[in-house]
Amino acid sequence: MRMKKISLAVICAMALALFASPALAATTKERVVVRGSFDSIEKILDDLGWDYELIEQDDLRDPDYNLSESGVKQLYINCSSYYTYNDFDFDFDFDFDFDFGDDRLTVTKVKEFVENGGYLYASDWAYAFMEPWGLTFENYNGAQEIHATIESPGLKAYIGDELLDGDGKLLIEYDLGAWYNIIDTAGAKVLLRGDILRYTDTGEGIKDSPLAVILEAKKGRAIYTTFHNEANIEEHGMKKAVEYLAKIPTMGYFADNLLKENNLPTGSLLDSSTGTVGEVKNNGIPVQGLNGVAGIYLIKIADMSLSATAAKDVGALAEKGFTVVLTNGVKSYTKDGDPTTDSALFEVPGEDNDGNPWTFYLSNVVGYADDLDVVVVSAKDAEPVISLKVSFQGRSAPESAANIEELSVVWIKGGSAASEKIIVTTDAKGETKIPLPE
């Protein structure tokens, strides 16, 4: 918890602002940014030309503001105190708690939003929104520059080697002190890590500390950065890095949708990366496979400027097409993309997966602008799923579905009929999915 000293006048002004805050109307945007005190991720989205809605911190805390019912799919929470302030007088000897995340009801609301399929992006003082999944944090760090190791192949390719230092590391600026470092990642995937200096009695630092992570939380994902995004938009390498990180929520939706469109469970996802058509033509986009395990590799051209579920189609062009090369430096596969879906799929046997990343390249591109987005995905070659629709024979679905405990499923394999009783759960519409039997 972080304490500051402010004037009594400021406290009164903030109290007036609290009671004067109007109720938030239902949002029409799927991508929502919560205004921050010390960071402005929306400036990155502006540079990308992406559509979003900017709301206040009080709006998020409003118990009547339901994220899912408002149609929100991607939520960005800037490094935040409870109130936005720029000209506070910190000379008055009065302690006041600025931790926005101390509101447990709001933290729980965001947690449920993510676990029901939403995407969260949080920075620095918004750390409390990551705590429900077991991540822990400390706050003894001063302003500093860190040369970070990039753990994500897609992030490294998006930045480009020419924007990294001589050791292939990324320079990150921590513009303010008292930022929160991650102690326990709770199993989150580390995207960036580096050596940090800390303001402690001994002055000792931490080696290879996680600086940015992504966490899978049931149906959704949460991304956290220890650094401010706005502070790094003037640095060439870091500007590319924060662009990529800001794209992850939308990229994640495309990755999930690609798996669903190809009848693959979302739990089979291994990795995903993004770039533009021009970047994939020139430099390629890598994704990580799994050593010795058969994999599915997918690529899709799209426009992510709105959001995943509302993203604009590439469009029905008179003539369009592309060729994809997938290579790990030893083996290569080539096929033409499907111009009706703007995508292509590769199946790679386990013996060809040596643990090194696979890289997608585009060639023979017709009809696609170089600034269109590209999403690439790797997944474990899992059994497909089949959709099952329950017939209620004229009875209302919700009432009938509530009484279903098991179903008898019959399928045909090898020319003979077989049956097995499978316990399933069914939603109010009587719809469920079951694994395809072997």
- The answer on pLDDT for 8 being more than 60 is no
Position 297, amino acid: Y
Whether residue 250 contacts residue 372, with contact meaning beta carbons closer than 8 Å, is answered with no
Q: What's the sign of the alpha-carbon dihedral 105, 141, 45, 237?
A: negative
What is the per-residue pLDDT across 136-188, written as a single tens digit (0 to 9) for each? 998 877 788 899 999 999 999 999 999 999 899 999 988 777 788 999 999 99
Task: Look at 47-61, 78-92, 197-211, 290-304 and tell me which has the smallest mean pLDDT.
Answer: 78-92
- The answer on pLDDT for 313 being more than 80 is no
From the DSSP assignment, how many helices (H) and strands (E) are in the chain?
A: 8, 25
In the predicted model, what is the mean pLDDT of residues 115-134? 92
- Residue 342's alpha-carbon distances to 178, 303, 323, 372, in angstroms, are 46, 11, 11, 11
pTM score, two decimals? 0.74
H-assigned helices in 93-235: 104-115, 153-159
3-state SS string over 328-366? CCCCEEEEECECCCCEEEEEECHHHCCCCCEEEEEEEEE
In the predicted model, what is the mean pLDDT of residues 12-22? 42
Q: With pLDDT > 70 as the criterion, what percentage of the chain qualifies? A: 69
CA 433, distance to chain mean position in Å, is 25
Q: Which residue ranges does the chain devote to CATH 2.60.120?
A: 267-380
CA 192, distance to chain mean position in Å, is 15
Q: Which CATH class is domain 3-252?
A: alpha beta
In the predicted model, what is the mean pLDDT of residues 47-57? 89
**Which pLDDT belongs to residue 50?**
87
- Cα–Cα distance measured from residue 97 to residue 348, given in angstroms and rounded to the nearest whole number: 54
- Cα–Cα distance measured from residue 96 to residue 9, given in angstroms and rounded to the nearest whole number: 13
In the predicted model, what is the mean pLDDT of residues 11-33? 54
Q: Which residue ranges does the chain devote to CATH 3.40.50.880?
A: 3-252
Q: What's the sign of the alpha-carbon dihedral 106, 111, 116, 120?
A: positive
Paired with 333 in beta bridges are 326
- The answer on pLDDT for 107 being more than 70 is yes
Using pLDDT thresholds of 50, 70 and 90, give the confidence band for residue 413: very low
Q: What's the sign of the alpha-carbon dihedral 307, 240, 115, 406?
A: positive
- Cα–Cα distance measured from residue 250 to residue 31, given in angstroms and rounded to the nearest whole number: 9
The residue ranking higher by pLDDT, 260 or 432, is: 260
Q: What's the sign of the alpha-carbon dihedral 55, 57, 59, 63?
A: positive
**SS3 category, 119:** strand
Residue 85: exposure state from Cβ atoms within 10 A (0-12, 13-18, ≥19) = middle
Using pLDDT thresholds of 50, 70 and 90, give the confidence band for residue 238: confident
Q: Which CATH number fits domain 267-380: 1.10.10, 3.40.30, 2.60.120, 3.40.190?
A: 2.60.120
Paired with 223 in beta bridges are 121, 214
In the predicted model, what is the mean pLDDT of residues 334-353? 94
Whether residue 95 contacts residue 52, with contact meaning beta carbons closer than 8 Å, is answered with no
What is the per-residue pLDDT across 28-46, written as a single tens digit (0 to 9) for each? 588 999 987 777 888 888 8
CA 181, distance to chain mean position in Å, is 20
Q: Which tokens in the block code for residue 6?
A: 């402010």
* Average pLDDT value over all residues in the chain: 77
Whether residue 285 contacts residue 279, with contact meaning beta carbons closer than 8 Å, is answered with yes
What is the per-residue pLDDT across 396-410, written as a single tens digit (0 to 9) for each? 444 444 454 455 544
- Cα–Cα distance measured from residue 73 to residue 66, given in angstroms and rounded to the nearest whole number: 12
